[in-house]
Structure 1
Amino acid sequence: MNTLRIIIVEDEAATARNLAHLLHSADDGIFVVTTLTSVTDAVEWFNLNPEGYDLLFMDIRLADGVSFDIFKKAVILKPVIFVTAYNDYAIQAFKNNGIDYILKPFDEQEIYKALQKYNNLFLSGQKAPDTLQIGQLFEQINQLTRSYKKAFLVHFREKLIPVETVKIAWFYTANEIVYAHTTDDRQYIMEYTMEQLEQQLDPHLFFRANRQFIINRYAITEVDFYFNGRLSIKVKPELPERILISKARVPDFKSWMNS
């Protein structure tokens, strides 16, 4: 019987012990070489032992960072099965990249299925994902799961007040000043550019309609066809001017609205 050498990267001791126990229960030919609990330890170990294992079980969030940092500093050539508590969108990213996952909390059956997938994919002669592919996967996960601004601290009548992001109907820029307009029809000056706001706003909630407007999906009341293949967006509170989506941006807007 061939020994399957496994590395566990997990900072929660109880989870790591449980995983090792389930691995041994699923296949008595498994040997857990070591458990690595941090990005720092993992980078050091993989750089010293690039061929010292066959399969890697890896959590995404570690005490000193995210697992993506490991791939920036060490070459990982063997297949990876991720142990994650992420949502369905992140799970879909795993599937699209052909790398398996186990969703916490997991059980023996899930471990067994993940090992079966490893056997089917990689023991049949297929090449393991390279570091670039895994790096791209983590970039997708960062996009899907990173934290976005939940509130902005804005100036109002010589005070600073918090404004919840979900209550902002749209952002717009005029004369090089950026404003936030709220659902209760208040307006505030922002200390960010539109480009900076794009990086801080949840892309599921907000869409960059054009150079002038970023709109909240829940502020949209109507979408009309406009000249030359463009769309005209009506919002609440109402605006005296049209928010136009260019013909080139229409497919992205439709995809966003349907998500």
Structure 2
Amino acid sequence: MHSTAPLQVLIIEDEPVTARNLQHILQEIDPAITVAAILPGVAESVNWLQQHPAACQLIFMDIRLTDGLSFEIFGQTRVEQPVIFVTAYNDYALQAFKANGIDYVLKPYDAEEISQALQKFRRFAGNGPAAGAREQVLQLMKMLQQEQPAYKQSFLVHFREKLLPLEAAQIAWFYTANEVVQACTFEHRQYTIDFTLEQLQQQLDPQLFFRANRQFIIQRRAVQEVNFFFNGRLLVRTLPEATEKILISKARVPAFKAWMNN
């Protein structure tokens, strides 16, 4: 499985733990593989690819990023490298393209499936980008955008001795601490939610909710102001006020701005 020359891989994935897991699996499969960069969103990826057009030979690309579908990258810059898409959804549309040189793997990652995808890449590596691959990807983007994802609209939450329905639109922010997730409503009521932030990030409408950092998911209507903070970070103030500072890392700032401007 080892290549004759080190393989440079670009990972486009908005969840740091998931990206590191993929990097670990890749380097277990072949220690000669190096990761050129890990990028969290569409805007960062477009910028990096424009500045480093030949810095990698293969891209692992999550489909649904915080600031949009990763297919949007292809509409904003030229991608010459083969792409292996990564998704938590078994999108039917992807299956039609797998036979045409565009591969995909499902989350959670399976080392054997990733190994097979790498083998497929190496079989076709000398042939350059598949003919018409860019057009196929853009067509696939249109198909997936036409789908209406069934984002979560409500939660059943425990309140005293009852279960109450809580609409997602009523939630200002989600916060996790000690592996417990709390949802805070605009009325400043807090409820325990039986999901992790990673699960919520996949289930909530990305137009309304943004993964600010490892502890917070915030709703657009809750954002009252955004202040500059140390080291290129942003401090988000919400109403109701959060239990801790909500900081956007320097790397996440472009995705946050794109979300707020959308």
Tell me how far 1:70 sits from its aligned partner: 0.9
Q: How does 1:102-141 map to 2 (within 5 A)?
A: 102-123=105-126, 125=127, 127-128=129-130, 130-141=133-144
Q: Is the 8 A contact 1:68 1:138 kept in 2?
A: yes
Q: Does 1:44 align with 2:34?
A: no
The Cα of 1:150 is off from its aligned counterpart by 11
How many residue pairs get matched?
A: 149
- How much has 1:29 moved relative to structure 2? 1.6
2:94 paired with 1:87:
no
Q: Distance in 2 between matches of 1:91 and 1:30?
A: 26
1:151-187 CA-partner distances (Å, limit 9, x unpaired): 9xxxxxxxxxxxxxxxxxxxxxxxxxxxxxxxxxxxx
CA contact (8 A) 1:78 1:128 kept: no
Residue 4 in structure 1 maps to residue 42 in structure 2: no
Contact 1:8 1:58 in 2 (8 A): yes
Stretches of 4+ moved more than 3 A in 1? 126-130, 147-151
2:148 to 146, 150, 164: 146
Residue equivalent to 1:77: 80
TM superposition shift of 1:7 = 0.2
- Find the partner of 1:33 among 36, 61, 69: 36
State which structure, 1 or 2, has the greater radius of gyration over its C-alpha atoms. 1
Distance 2:27 2:106 in 1: 19
Partner SS state of residue 56, structure 2? coil
CA contact (8 A) 2:62 2:86 kept: yes
User: What SS does the corresponding residue of 1:98 show, helix, strand or coil?
Assistant: coil
- Label 1:22 to 1:63 Cα distance change in 2 as closer, same or farther (>3 A): same
CA distance in 1, matches of 2:128, 2:22: 26
Aligned to 2:60: 57
Q: What amino acid sits opposite 1:67 in the alignment?
A: S
Deviations 1:93-119 (A, max 9, x none): 332543111011112111111100101
Contact 2:7 / 2:33 at 8 angstroms: preserved in 1?
Answer: yes
Unmatched 5+ stretches in structure 1: 152-259
RMSD: 2.3
Change (3 A) 1:59 1:71: same
Q: Would the alpha carbon gap of residues 61 and 97 (structure 1) be closer, same or farther in structure 2, given more than 3 Å must change?
A: same
**Per-residue deviation, 1:132:** 2.3
Unaligned runs of 5+ in 2: 154-262
The verdict on how the C-alpha distance between 1:150 and 1:103 changes in structure 2, with shifts beyond 3 A counting, is closer
In 2, Cα distance between equivalents of 1:150 and 1:46:
34
The alpha-carbon deviation at position 90 of structure 1 amounts to 2.9
Q: Counterparts of 1:148 and 1:105 in 2: how far apart (Å)?
A: 20
Q: Provide, for residues 223-258 of structure 1, a one-character-per-residue CA deviation record: whole Å limited to 9, x for no partner.
A: xxxxxxxxxxxxxxxxxxxxxxxxxxxxxxxxxxxx
Distance 1:19 1:148, change over 3 A: closer
Whole-Å separation in 1 of the counterparts to 2:19 and 2:102: 20
Matching residue's letter, 2:149 = S
Higher relative contact order (Cα pairs below 8 Å, separated by 6+ residues)? 2
Query: Measured at CA, do residues 79 and 148 of structure 1 come closer, stay the same or move farther in structure 2, by a change above 3 Å?
Result: same
Tell me the residue number matched to 2:228: none
Q: What TM-score does the superposition give when structure 2 sets the normalisation length?
A: 0.52
